[in-house]
Structure 1
Amino acid sequence: MCSSKINKIKNFHPHPVTGKTDDSFVGLRIKGNDIHFFYPESYRFDEESLKVRMDIIDLLRTISIAKTSSIEPSRANNTTKVQGEYALMSYIWVIRDFLANGFYINREKTYKVNESGRVDWKRTMGTQPIVSNRNIIYPNIIVSVKNEVDNLIVDIHKYCVKKSIDFIGWLFNLSSSFIETKPFNAGIKKLYVATIQKELDKTFEDDKRIRLKHLLNVVVGLDTNENNDEFVYGVDSYYYIFERMIDSIFGNVKNMADFNPKASWQLLQNNYQERNSRDLRPDTIIVRDDGSVFILDSKFYRFGFTGDESDLPETTSIQKQITYGEYISKYVTKVDVKEVYNAFLLPYDKERDKFRSEDNLQYIGFAKSKWKDNKLGYELVHTFLIDLHHVVKTWSRLNHSDDVERLVSEILEHNEEAKGILGV
């Protein structure tokens, strides 16, 4: 009970999000002292947990996916709208770096000859001396002096630490009241940005460049109005992020163009000149050494939360999967395709009573069309629930072989089972 109180975040208001119209924003809204955290309803979240702050950070990290480069940026932009996109992960980085290393100090010295300052004897003795009457004289005394630019970066760093703590210090149980900074205005902001950019242009040290880039993100994201105490960071829809995380975990095909079913238009107004239509594009593809291909469609639908069959993928989604399978089976030549299989992946919370399980992956059945004979592997769309908490925690890892092997083996197993049920 005591540890729960210590861990509790003041003025914190969690909001599970259904994903419906007007209830799809995922992220943070901070106004004054009130912190509003919006998370997908299928994301396991407990504000009394000892790991509550890490659970918040993990979910917020996924939002950066919406602003990373994409081969189809228009698709990402149409699906998600990022607010406050520059600064949040830099706030977190700056605070963690501060906790580990303290305030930035003059790490680089500037050396001058025959000026006032602290003598650097090692460098001085490395210069050419004069020998006179058996005395060794160094005519060029090298001294280390304070670098004015470096000193300015000290001020910038201190200001960025303070502002980062002001925005998200509650994630680390920190207050910025102990940090004193100089007044901030449009002129100072311009100076800070120019100073950081100048240092970036001449710095090749990786660690320093990382720090400077985060400081720049924080400064660029700061409003010159000191009274502005509202902060928003999030996306209007989590659908695209879920799709990208699933692809990161399971997909092993990076160039998807060869797997995209294609069509074209030939219009009278263009003298029937052929013009390409926009391709269909599968979400995720797994290609195995034995020539088997698995087409995955990430569906950020509510079935894993509600159990309501009306929240399952509709016929148009089923039809698209079958089209993908047929196209890849017949027309893809870059891979020696032997068998093609289909699957939907929907989010759920494995610890919630509706579908309580010890497994991150739970099979719920398959979809089929009524215009095919369902004898081919890709004509059935096997459907799984995947624990969203697990996805959020692991999507950025480098090795997902266990998840992939588990999914592939289950698809193959249930495909044989389904054939028996259908008598095909």
Structure 2
Amino acid sequence: MAKKNMPPTEAWQKLIQQYSIPDKVSDSGSVILTADDIREYREPRLMAKWDSEDYLPQPLKSEHLNILPVSRSAYIVSDVLLYEPLPSLDQPVKEMTQVRLPHYESIDIEHISSESNAINALKLSGILDDFLGEKTVETFNGRMGSGEFGFNINRFGGGALQVDVQNAQLEIDGGFETDNSVVVMEAKNVPHNDFLVRQLYYPYRLWSGKVDKPIRLIFSQYTNQIFRLFEYGFDSQNDYSSIKLLGVKNYSLQDTTITLEDIHATLVNTCIRTDDKMDGNSVPFIQANSMDRVIAILEHLAVQNMNMQEVAESMEFDPRQSTYYADAGIYLGLFYRPIRGVISLTGRGREIFKMRYQDRQLALVAQIFEHEIFQSFFIDIYRTGELPDQKKIEDWMRWRKVCGEGQVVRRASTVLSWLNWMISLTGISDEE
């Protein structure tokens, strides 16, 4: 057990100071920390894997540092670049392949709540075979040793670092074989802006040395009843930073067609519940840009209530972001706090979770339209075909006094993001 159980931010601040990590990285390129070094402050498994750069603890982020396992008991810390951006979730899905899942009583396509269930649906629906253009059979998954290999990886300040790995532990969500290839899949049911390349690169190096067939690498996201599949490859086997996107495709098990007229009709049928003025309003004005992450939390809460630490861990958030997103769900009438520090789905939130895709999205739009600011700006969008300038949103917020002046710019960006999310449901780009 860890001697201490500090929050990751505090723990990393202590480690950075204790081992003079920035100075040593500047001098020699990297620092090796043992699992015991890290365990002095917090369990290594909670300190060494951040699936998105967004959620790196601030001490690492501010020093441009990242951490990689190089064995079962050691980690390298350096200013290396570990993450690859994903196409934005806010980009409209213009081409959606709809597939039908054969009827199985034990699989509920409307309530897929785990990464393993999402992989099952991918296999049984034929989505994975369609994406790959090959018939697949699952042949491996789970934890295994990485084997021994070396590679180069780009550094933040330029140049590359040589890293040697000796049997680090890795976990593969799904491993498949076809007539022509071996397929490694990393699956997520949380939306991110980027992903940790190591989750594909280490399995790629392991299986490249075990089989003769080419290795195909798939990153899968399932959230809000949509599958997004990405295929990646590496230009050079020995270069972590040579990753490239080879293909992307979106799938749904349901009809996803939503029009601008559908959204406008929702507005017409929704009464404004609040003008969001601070006076007399106990719910903070929103500061949570990703509606998809609000929905992901809703999907997790349908399984069980969560405290803020559990929200942070399931979403891979900074704890402060957990509060912002919990408040966003409360603002929309989807979540509530049955006891201090815990969030649960409201009756309305549970109803929306159970809806099919189209009904769910329009129900969420209706919850948004209960707030005057969104009705006001959507009417302008409907008339002009253009998203508003953020400055115009900021001015509206100052006029209505929905938050303090120091919060206006940040929270206006959330309003703009949510408006853009609504428009993206129709497949219309804000650039059109």
Structure 2 length normalisation: TM-score? 0.21
TM-score in terms of structure 1 length: 0.21
Larger radius of gyration between Structure 1 and Structure 2: 1
